[in-house]
Structure 1
C-alpha cells in the first residue's frame, strides 16, 4: 500500500503536465495599419481592347482588259490622289477608238447629205412639185442620220474613257500596299483584277466593343446624378508595348444596336496619326475617360489583393480581419477605384495582407481618415494625427473597439 501511493502521485503529476501542454496559447493579434474609406470626385475610366482601322481603304482594280506594262509606284510608300500607279497596254483600245472615230466621220457625212436633201425638198413640197410623203421620208432619214452621229459620238467618248483607264491612278491619298500583279500580267475588266490597296493613315480609327450591361450601368449612374458625363468622351491608346500614345482622341461613333452573338455595342474613336505610328489591324487598348464620379471611392494599391476571382480587401471589424470582395475599376496614381463592395466609413487594412486570414485578430495601429485615403502621421505627442478626425467623422476604428 505504501508502494502504490508514490505511483499514484507520479501518474497524477504526469497527467497534469500533459494537460498543460495540450492547452494551446491564444493567437496574438496582428498589428496592422488602416484607412477609413471616404468618397470624393474621381474620374470614371474604362479600358477596353480594340483594333486600329484605316479611315478609308481603296482597292485599286483594273477597269479595262489588257497587259500590265509598268508599275509606277514604290510599294509601301505614301501616294497622293491622282498619282499614276500602273500602265496597261493601250494598243487595242487605241485601235478600237480609231475605228469608232472613223465610223463617226462616216455618220457625219451621211447626216450632212440627208440634211441637204431635206433643204432641197422643202421649197419643192411647198410648190407641190414633190409629194408630201417624199419630203417626210427625207426628213426622217436626216433625223436618223443625226441620231447615228450622236450615238457614235458617245461611243468615241466611251472609248476615250476606256483608253484613259489604261493609266491607273490612285483614287485617294494614303499608304499604298504591295502590288498584286507584275509587269506582263493579264488583267481583265470583267473580273476587276485587284492591282493594289491604298489606306488613308491619318486620321485613323480605333474600333472597340463595350458590353450592353456596362453601358446600361453608366446610363443609370448618369440618370442618378452619380456620374457627370464628358462631352466629348476623351480617349487614349495603350500601344502593344505598354506605352501610351501621345495623341489623345475622342469618340466619334456609337453603335445603335447590340450584337446578338457577343452582347456588345461597337464604338469608335478617331486619332490623329501624323507620323504613321498607328497601323491598320494593330491591336491596342483604348482608355476612355467617360466622366467624373461625384462620390467615388478609392483605396491604395497595397490594400487590395488580386485573385483569379477578382479583387478583395480586409476590413478591421471588432478587432478581427474580415475579407471583403470588391469590384475594381481603373488604377489612378497608385490607388484602385472601387466600383462596388465598399462604402464610406469602412476601415480597410493596408499592410500585412499576406499574413492575414479571414477572422484573424488584428491590432489597429496608426489609422488614416478622410476621402483621400491617406494615412495619418504620428505627432510628437505619440497619438495618430488622424485619430481625432476618425473618432469624430466615423467613430473609433473598428479594430480599436475590439481591443
Structure 2
C-alpha cells in the first residue's frame, strides 16, 4: 500500500468516526431530562397557627381556717376529688358551741324584758290622759322599750356571729375539684386567716390553656383579614391541642378570650383556650401546643416546600413545566406554612405543573418530561409516582 492510499484510508476512518460521534451527541441531546411534577388547583385553605402554652386550672382555691383551734380530723382523701361544700377538716367545736349557747341565753334574756317594757308604755299612755303620770315618765318608758328591743337585736346578732364561728369549725371546700396533700395533720393548732394553707383545690374540668401569641403575628393576621387574603368565620374558633409526647388531645376546645395587652418583656399577648377534661388527662403546669384555626384563605395554592427556593434576590421561586413542556421560573408571593406546604397567594395559576423533584437537572427555557407524582401531606415525601409510557413499554 502506497502513502496516498494510507492517507485516504485514514481520512475515511476519521470521517466515519466523526460522524458516529456527532450522531451519539445529537442522540444524547435529544433526550429530555425527567422531572417530577404536581398539578396545582386553587382551594380554600384553612389557616392555622401553632401556639405554645401552659395548662392551668380553671378554678384554684387555697383553703385556710377562719377560726382558731385544734384540728380534730381530716375528712377528705388527699389527691382525690372533692365536691363543693364537702367537709375537709374538723376543728374542735367545744369553745364555739359554748359561746353560741351563751349568746342564745343572752338573747332569751333580752327578749324577756320586751313584754314588760311594752306593757309599761301602754299603761302610761292610758294614764297620761288622766294626768296620772307625767309626760317624762311616758318618754322614759318609751325609751326603755326601745332599749329593750335594741338589746334583742344585739343579742340576735351575737347569736348569728356565734353560729357562724361554730359552723367555721367545719372547714368546707369552697369549690369542687381535686385536692392537694394536706399541709397539717390531726392535733395541729391553726389560727384564723393564717398564711399557711391547709390544702389547695383545683378545678380540672373544664381546664384552661394559656397560649402566647406574638404581637407581630396578630398584626399580620389583621392585615390579611383586611386585605381579604383570609376570611374569618363568625362561629366559635375551634382549637386542637398537641401534648408534650406529640399526641393530639382527642377533645376539641375553643378560644375564650385574648388579653387586651402585650407583655413589654416578651412581646406576646396571652390567648386563653378552654378544653373539656373529663378523664383528668390534662394537669396544671403541663406544656402543650395549641393548633388554632384562624380562618380560611380563599383560592390559595398549597405548594410543597421542597419545590420552593430562593433566588439571588431573596425572592421565593418555583419551576413550572409549561404546556409546551418548557421550564418556566415563577416568582411567588408566599404566605405562611401549612403543614409541609407553602401557602402561595400569587405567581401560580390553576393547572400549573410545579417541579418538585429534579430541580437540579433543568433550567428555565429547557424542555423536560414531566412525571405526575403525589406528595404525602404528612411527611412532604413522594408517596406515589406514575410510570412514564416509555418505562411501561420497556417493561413490556
Give the superposition deviation at 1:204: 1.4
Q: Is the 8 A contact 1:68 1:187 kept in 2?
A: yes
Give the superposition deviation at 1:328: 4.9
Query: Is residue 79 from structure 1 mapped to residue 85 from structure 2 by the alignment?
Result: no
Q: Which moved more, 1:52-61 or 1:162-171?
A: 52-61
Determine the structure 1 residue equivalent to 2:168.
Answer: 165
Determine the structure 2 residue equivalent to 1:122.
Answer: 125
Give the superposition deviation at 1:222: 2.2
Determine the structure 2 residue equivalent to 1:263.
Answer: 267
Q: 1:361 to 1:75 in 2, by over 3 A?
A: farther
Determine the structure 1 residue equivalent to 2:155.
Answer: 152
Q: Is the 8 A contact 1:47 1:288 kept in 2?
A: yes
Q: TM-score, normalised by structure 2?
A: 0.74
Q: TM-score, normalised by structure 1?
A: 0.73
Q: Secondary structure at the match of 2:294?
A: strand
Q: Is the 8 A contact 2:333 2:344 kept in 1?
A: no
How far apart, CA to CA, are the structure 2 residues paired with 1:41 and 1:348?
Answer: 19
Alignment map for 1:337-356 (pairs within 5 Å): 337-338=342-343, 343-344=347-348, 349-351=355-357
Determine the structure 2 residue equivalent to 1:225.
Answer: 228
Q: Secondary structure at the match of 2:72?
A: strand
Give the superposition deviation at 1:296: 2.4
Query: Is residue 330 from structure 1 mapped to residue 335 from structure 2 by the alignment?
Result: no
Determine the structure 2 residue equivalent to 1:135.
Answer: 138
Q: Is the 8 A contact 2:64 2:194 kept in 1?
A: no
How far apart, CA to CA, are the structure 2 residues paired with 1:357 and 1:376?
Answer: 18
Determine the structure 2 residue equivalent to 1:246.
Answer: 250
Query: Is residue 380 from structure 1 mapped to residue 384 from structure 2 by the alignment?
Result: no
Q: Which moved more, 1:357-366 or 1:122-131?
A: 357-366
Determine the structure 2 residue equivalent to 1:274.
Answer: 278
Give the superposition deviation at 1:316: 7.5
Task: Find the partner of 2:184 among 181, 186, 197.
Answer: 181
Q: Is the 8 A contact 2:315 2:331 kept in 1?
A: no
Q: Is the 8 A contact 2:319 2:327 kept in 1?
A: no
Q: 1:100 to 1:55 in 2, by over 3 A?
A: same
CA offsets per residue over residues 161-214 of structure 1, 9 Å max, x none?
A: 110111111122211111122212222224365221211111111121222222
Unaligned runs of 5+ in 2: 1-28
CA offsets per residue over residues 304-342 of structure 1, 9 Å max, x none?
A: 79xxxx9988757997999999665131xxx423368x7
CA offsets per residue over residues 59-107 of structure 1, 9 Å max, x none?
A: 2221111111110000111111121111011122112222222222322
Determine the structure 2 residue equivalent to 1:46.
Answer: 49
Task: Find the partner of 1:295 among 285, 289, 299.
Answer: 299
Give the superposition deviation at 1:121: 2.2
Q: Which moved more, 1:139-148 or 1:251-260?
A: 251-260
Determine the structure 2 residue equivalent to 1:206.
Answer: 209
Task: Find the partner of 2:96 among 93, 96, 99.
Answer: 93
How far apart, CA to CA, are the structure 1 residues paired with 2:330 and 2:174?
Answer: 66
How many residues are aligned here? 347
Unaligned runs of 5+ in 1: 1-27, 384-403
How far apart, CA to CA, are the structure 2 residues paired with 1:344 and 1:34?
Answer: 14
Q: 1:178 to 1:370 in 2, by over 3 A?
A: closer
Q: Is the 8 A contact 1:121 1:135 kept in 2?
A: yes
Determine the structure 2 residue equivalent to 1:235.
Answer: 239
Q: 1:370 to 1:292 in 2, by over 3 A?
A: farther
Q: 1:120 to 1:319 in 2, by over 3 A?
A: closer
How far apart, CA to CA, are the structure 2 residues paired with 1:159 and 1:193?
Answer: 25
Determine the structure 2 residue equivalent to 1:395.
Answer: none
Q: 1:362 to 1:80 in 2, by over 3 A?
A: farther
Q: 1:190 to 1:248 in 2, by over 3 A?
A: closer
Q: 1:190 to 1:267 in 2, by over 3 A?
A: closer
Q: Which moved more, 1:100-109 or 1:60-69?
A: 100-109
How far apart, CA to CA, are the structure 1 residues paired with 2:214 and 2:289?
Answer: 15
Q: Is the 8 A contact 2:237 2:292 kept in 1?
A: yes
